[in-house]
Structure 1
């Protein structure tokens, strides 16, 4: 079973939420997930969450995108290894990500857009402000 996509989403979402007001809720949710799925690793994961948060806050202060990307990749790997070892964790991780929701102030690739048009229909999509003038 392929867990790469879910792990990527989880890692990216976690790193984005670490520097927001949702951090406490995020930390608790991730720690509880590990306590249920791999209890012997939960305390180590909780400690890594704290260390990663400190690194992320520092990286955001200096706009260090390389460190942010690196941390996201590290957490993606942790999630992927968890899912490979315990495939039943996928459903619980999906639920947790749904509860945490998209990061409100996250910088990075947190937006996904898709559009389908037929005939002479038009689709206008933007990740931010959009002004359209048609004549």
Structure 2
């Protein structure tokens, strides 16, 4: 298997698990079910939907209890599922890349949210920036 597809599968597994705990979860799940349904079998796609929902429940419970090992295991498991999908259907790689770019909050070009809060008293100054900041005082 091509090294790029292996890296895509690893990144996809990690992104899927990350997205399980976000507002983008339903879109992520639906996109994955669609990809798996295009791999051949409608019953397989239904099974994937159930497995994704169960994995999300496990992830949320693990995060509540501070169980980092479960989250790592889920990432590995979904990376493996994505790798097997891409072995079977390498033509789905571009669709998977596009879906991840659209849904993954860490993807290049995705909007970022910045929340800043500061207080100053007396003659104190506060300088805040969401990105670059240049201050010239004279």
TM-score (norm 1): 0.72
Point out 4+ residue stretches in structure 1 off by more than 4 angstroms: none
1:10-21 paired onto structure 2 within 5 Å: 10-21=12-23
Instruction: Select the residue among 52, 55, 62 that pairs with 1:52.
Output: 55
1:27 counterpart residue number: 29
Query: CA shift at 1:93, angstroms?
Result: 0.6
| 1:81 aligned onto 2:84 | yes
Highest relative contact order (Cα 8 Å, sep 6+), 1 or 2? 1
Aligned partners of 1:87 and 1:101: how far apart in 2? 21
| Secondary structure of the structure 1 residue equivalent to 2:105 | coil
Q: Computing the radius of gyration over CA atoms, which structure comes out larger, 1 or 2?
A: 2
TM-score (norm 2): 0.71
Preserved contact between residue 39 and residue 88 of structure 2 (Cα < 8 Å): no
Deviations 1:34-79 (A, max 9, x none): 1122334101111100100000000011111100000000000000
1:36 counterpart residue number: 38
Instruction: Select the residue among 7, 10, 13 that pairs with 1:8.
Output: 10
What is the Cα-based RMSD across aligned positions, in Å?
1.5
1:63 counterpart residue number: 66
Count residues in correspondence: 104
Preserved contact between residue 17 and residue 103 of structure 1 (Cα < 8 Å): no
1:103 to 1:54, Cα distance in 2 relative to 1, 3 A:
farther
Aligned partners of 1:25 and 1:69: how far apart in 2? 22
Can you give the 5+ residue segments of structure 2 that lack an aligned partner in the other structure?
108-138
Aligned partners of 1:101 and 1:55: how far apart in 2? 20
